[in-house]
A and B are shown apart, each in its own frame.
Chain A
């Protein structure tokens, strides 16, 4: 085994393979984050249930009840909950990944490992919350007497993969910027909030009528729409839209890796 240390050149794909060698550390990072996430909280992991649940209740009261938001013929609470489930996975992953380098600077300045592990593991951690909150969806669907479309559920891993690509990709770009410009910390919550309104979480994209194509550029649109079709039925999965989401997600991921790798060399010097 020989290691050669040289001035960092531009990005090479071969280095991505290194992640595989470090998979055990990836597991440990994720394991640690899950362990400490809800330490010293009174209700612990229940937070993963409360957040989407309370948000769903409030949205149902104000948007569903008072504003009479259309929901494609599905009871508004489960309509919005499916959207929230994926949305919260996306937004928590994005902000977790953006802070992953700065939050672990003590480790980054002392030990070598592929830095890509940090945004990836912080996103993987969010799966736990996602699966716990999914349990709540099952209860809601039983309550409303909605049988899931079992064949449709097979599409879920694909949807999660696309969401994963989008949030890790975006997270890598933001994490790299965050190392140099801490503005990210302040801009991101605002950015995420804004994104919520251009994603059909609270409303169906049908309310934009002929302008609904605008939303297609947002990769989360295809994912959330496909999730609703698959889980709740009603309309068939819009594969074109989902393909666009997948392509955009992949592009964000690629750009993320390249940006991240090209700025990685500075991390230890300036965090």
Chain B
């Protein structure tokens, strides 16, 4: 008998809710006066803005399983966790959960800066579903794991951000539920603490009978912790397999990458009267079009722009985002340069041995920086490519690598034997 059974679960959002933070009563009254009959036909208006974040999800998880959930942004991962955590109800379907479930969707839920460390441990622990007695018993352990013994009775607002995050994580890590639902929270604190929390998670996962659902963009930790991985895409399950197979298939499936874009009609190309983007694309060292690169490959990005205004100084910027949406870096060649009319091709080389295996997104911006910033081109999602390890991905699965971090630069190391 599975401990979690998800049957045909779907979740619908109304886009209107997603776009506007809240309505004002006056808007409703105003729209009533504009069209008083719409109050009766309102249902149809609503349907236009529907968005299915999850569609017919069926998952059955046995006791003791550790399941990773991955997928591109907007695939529905967080929605699934929110439904499992009972924060938001499903629109259709049913879930049966046969045990105590604790969810950890954020580090530091309920932390209040005015309260002391001690008070926050109790409040946050209680919010997360721990009993007062349980918190009392584990209090010393929680505090020493976070390493904040000396500061436990001062307000958290005087903590460094690292300290409060460590304390918050520590509270969460000491919960003792049957089922733990975790959303990408391991990337907190400094490197040392990250390592500590990852091994704490490993310790937690090795306890018998503990069932864990774990959402992350970090293939490294997913492959270290999970035995089974589910890949979501556009609200549906596309892969449900053992971790090895699922991650491999996910990263090698090429329907997600976009290696080049170009705009035939210069009038509709991104940009304005000053400058327009004509094309952008990825190439290998031999000029071949590519959208996946080995760690040891140079990644060449070529951007074509057309300048139509000679008087405006332009600053181009290339942005690289990693899969969590963080800006890995932004780069430019020259600030506020004036270009003669015409087309230009810019070539940017992302050197080999810099990125870590994963999926990356390319953005391109052109602006004029005067007193204010005028944005001519602002495209934060132009290309998607992936970087993998090993000459043949299937022979050497990259995700078993022991590298940590968000980049993996090859640095100059030297070794000198020391003789007395």
| CB pair B23 A181 closer than 8 Å | yes
| CB pair A5 B97 closer than 8 Å | yes
Chain B residue at smallest Cβ distance from A102: B22
Bound complex: CA of A250 vs CA of B93, how far in Å?
36
| CB pair A5 B98 closer than 8 Å | no
B217 to chain A, nearest CB (A): 19
Bound complex: CA of A8 vs CA of B90, how far in Å?
8
Given A6-B94, A270-B17 in contact, is the A113-B115 Cβ separation under 8 Å?
no
Segment with Cβ contacts to B, from A35-43, A150-158, A160-168, A198-206: A35-43
| CB pair B86 A112 closer than 8 Å | yes
- Chain B positions 81 through 121: 1 when the CB is less than 8 Å from some CB of chain A, otherwise 0: 01111111111111111111101011001101011000100
- Residues on the B chain within 8 Å of A108, using CB: 87
| CB pair B24 A265 closer than 8 Å | no
Partner of B87, one of A4, A109, A180: A109
Chain B residue at smallest Cβ distance from A264: B89
- Chain A positions 20 through 56: 1 when the CB is less than 8 Å from some CB of chain B, otherwise 0: 0000110010011001100110000000000000000
- Residues on the B chain within 8 Å of A6, using CB: 89-90, 93-95
- Residues on the B chain within 8 Å of A180, using CB: 22-23
- Residues on the B chain within 8 Å of A109, using CB: 87
- Residues on the A chain within 8 Å of B97, using CB: 2-5
- Residues on the A chain within 8 Å of B86, using CB: 3, 5, 112
- Residues on the B chain within 8 Å of A265, using CB: 88-89
| CB pair A7 B109 closer than 8 Å | no
Given A6-B90, A39-B114, A182-B24 in contact, is the A110-B132 Cβ separation under 8 Å?
no
Does B360 touch A at the CB level, under 8 Å? no
- Residues on the B chain within 8 Å of A107, using CB: 109-110, 127
Does A92 touch B at the CB level, under 8 Å? no
Bound complex: CA of A270 vs CA of B22, how far in Å?
7
Partner of A28, one of B26, B96, B106, B127: B127
Does A111 touch B at the CB level, under 8 Å? yes
| CB pair A24 B115 closer than 8 Å | no
- Residues on the B chain within 8 Å of A111, using CB: 85, 87, 103, 105, 109-110, 127-129
| CB pair B98 A113 closer than 8 Å | no
Given A3-B101, A268-B82 in contact, is the A25-B127 Cβ separation under 8 Å?
yes
Does B131 touch A at the CB level, under 8 Å? yes
CB contacts under 8 Å to B, within A159-183, are 179-183
Chain B residue at smallest Cβ distance from A3: B97
| CB pair B23 A36 closer than 8 Å | no
- Chain B positions 3 through 22: 1 when the CB is less than 8 Å from some CB of chain A, otherwise 0: 00000000001000100001
CB contacts under 8 Å to A, within B23-73, are 23-26, 28
CB contacts under 8 Å to B, within A248-271, are 265, 268-270
Does B399 touch A at the CB level, under 8 Å? no
- Residues on the A chain within 8 Å of B257, using CB: none
| CB pair A5 B90 closer than 8 Å | yes
- Residues on the B chain within 8 Å of A112, using CB: 85-87, 103
- Residues on the B chain within 8 Å of A183, using CB: 24-26
Partner of A7, one of B89, B99, B100, B126: B89
Does B123 touch A at the CB level, under 8 Å? yes
Partner of B22, one of A2, A25, A181, A268: A181
Binding site for B on A (CB under 8 A): 1-8, 24-25, 28, 31-32, 35-36, 39-40, 106-113, 179-183, 265, 268-270
27 pairs from A and B in contact (CB 8 Å cutoff)? A2-B96, A3-B86, A3-B96, A5-B89, A5-B90, A5-B95, A24-B131, A28-B122, A28-B127, A31-B123, A32-B119, A35-B114, A36-B112, A107-B109, A107-B127, A110-B106, A111-B110, A111-B127, A112-B86, A112-B87, A112-B103, A113-B127, A179-B22, A181-B23, A181-B24, A183-B26, A265-B89
